[in-house]
Amino acid sequence: MDRLVKPDVKEVALTFTRGQKCTAAFRLTNLMHTMSVAVSLSTTNRSLSFPQPFYILPPLSTSSFSLLSDPSDHPPLSSPPDSVTVRSAMLPTGKANQDDLRRLFKPGPHVFKDASIPISIVGPHVVDFLLSPPNTKTLEVSFLLSKAISGCEESDLTSLLRSAAKSGNSYFISALIDAGADLNHRDSEGQSVMSLAIQSGDIDSVQILIESGFVIDDSIDRLLHDAAAIDRSDLMEVLCLGFREIAVNLADFRGRTAIHVAASRGHVDSLQFLVSIGGDPDLVDHNGWTPLHCAAAEGHHESAEFLIDHSTFAKYAVNSDGKTSFALAVEKGHSHLYDLLQLGDSLLRAARIDDIHAMKSCLAEGGRVNGRDQNGWTPLHRAAFKGRLESVKLLLSHGAQVDVVDDSGHTPLQRALEGRHLQVVMCLIDHGANSNLKSINGVEMVGSFNMDCFKNHPSLVSPLCQEKERA
């Protein structure tokens, strides 16, 4: 005979509950027909124990035994996994105290090693512990996780799936879904597992949820909003590829689209992606705010600049309080936005009509003297082209760049020549403008001038004549 007792289980599963004393029961049967058997129970884990180390089983009897774990915040995990060692020895007298039994189980051929029963620490609290840092996806954690999950109900699995999504642990997400967690479950506020995964920023988690069959609910889900909030255009791309029907201009309860969210946080990459897939930067929320209003209120210059370049009317739109984006910037004290949102336009307009008072006011309030319009024209280009001599002088006195080129490659001097404004031309040259006009586009344009009007300014006549002669 190689053993005296037989366990009724192949594994002892101890369900761990944080902060509570935990118990796992199993049974042993005495295989001897006529003799009592002494039993010794022990584990390799000091966190686990039995009420007493030695027991007596009468002939052919079966008894229940309890494996105990003291209250703790951490499950009694170990590597390699623990086991209950069951040893036995014949006890002809059928009676003995603990000291007698301790002496009985001194090593010798009379002691049988009947079983080594593996111990699994299971339950949602174990999974939650494994999910927390610094635990990582290792073979060891993989084994412990598979065991721990076996002691979880479906509701536990779903709750744990939310925790895994929140922490961005794609390995746990996959394991929990395989075990039966509901990936389309939503909390009391309607928040989905997908939303949590996006907020974690883990692209693998998002991809697994898509591949596992997550279903978007447009009445609740605002997944692009979630991605825009953390400026993750790569997540947006995965969402768009995974959900062909995703609505880019879907609004939240405030009427704000994902573009509003990106704008309010200054996330230019997200703005660029959203506009590229059909996002509308001119949509307004329930309070009449465009995305530009949002960017202006928060002082995001680069986002505001992008929105101005890609919107139709946002720069001039007023919200329900009658305020433009410029008014909001002023209200919040974001002076670095003044030129972009209004003063630049005002300065260009004033330069065009020679409104010196308005120009001085714009410059005093922060208008950029070298700011550009959509064609790359500075106020000096505008004033020079219109022949506004006083405006040209004012702009030059405030640091206007005399040889700056517009999007067509023309300087203010070339625009003044185009408008045939001799006094402006001479003023610009007197302030250092390059009068070598070889780079001007098109000889025909030079040849159409009345050269007599420049006869009193030889520095200009010479290169003009040369250019005409070459023609």
Per-residue pLDDT of the chain (471 residues; tens, 9 = 90+): 689 999 999 999 999 999 999 999 999 999 999 999 999 999 988 889 999 999 999 999 999 999 999 999 999 988 778 999 999 999 999 999 999 999 999 999 999 999 999 999 999 999 999 988 765 555 578 888 999 999 999 999 999 999 999 999 999 999 999 999 999 999 999 999 999 999 999 999 999 999 999 999 999 999 999 999 999 999 999 999 999 889 999 999 999 999 999 999 999 999 999 999 999 999 999 999 999 999 999 999 999 999 998 998 888 899 999 999 989 998 999 988 888 887 777 778 888 888 899 888 888 877 788 888 778 899 999 999 999 999 999 999 999 999 999 989 999 999 999 899 999 999 999 999 987 754 444 433 333 344 444 544 455 555 544 444 443
Q: Are 296 and 319 in contact (CB under 8 A)?
A: no
* SS3 per-residue string spanning the chain: CCCCEEECCCCEEEECCCCCCEEEEEEEEECCCCCEEEEEEEECCCCEECCCCEEEECCCCEEEEEEEECCCCCCCCCCCCCEEEEEEEEECCCCCCHHHHHHHCCCCCCCEEEEEEEEEEECHHHHHHHHCCCCCCCHHHHHHHHHHHCCCCHHHHHHHHHHHHHHCCHHHHHHHHHHCCCCCCECCCCCEHHHHHHHHCCHHHHHHHHHCCCCCCCCCCCHHHHHHHCCCHHHHHHHHHHCCCCCCCCCCCCCCCHHHHHHHHCCHHHHHHHHHCCCCCCCCCCCCCCHHHHHHHHCCHHHHHHHHHHCCCHHHCCCCCCCCHHHHHHHHCCHHHHHHHHHHHHHHHHHHHCCHHHHHHHHHHCCCCCCCCCCCCCHHHHHHHHCCHHHHHHHHHCCCCCCCCCCCCCCHHHHHHHCCCHHHHHHHHHCCCCCCHHHCCCHHHHHCCCHHHHCCCHHHHHHHHHHHHHC
Establish whether domains 5-125 and 340-470 are of one fold.
no
pTM summary value: 0.74
- What pLDDT is stored for residue 453 in this prediction? 46
Q: What local confidence, expressed as pLDDT, does residue 81 receive?
A: 83
Domain 340-470, CATH among 2.40.50.500, 3.30.70.60, 1.25.40.20, 1.10.540.10: 1.25.40.20
Residue 138's pLDDT is 55
CATH topology for 5-125?
Immunoglobulin-like (2.60.40)
Contact 142, 34 (CB under 8 A): no
Domain chopping of the chain, boundaries? 5-125, 340-470
The pLDDT of residue 284 is: 97
pLDDT, residue 471, reads: 37
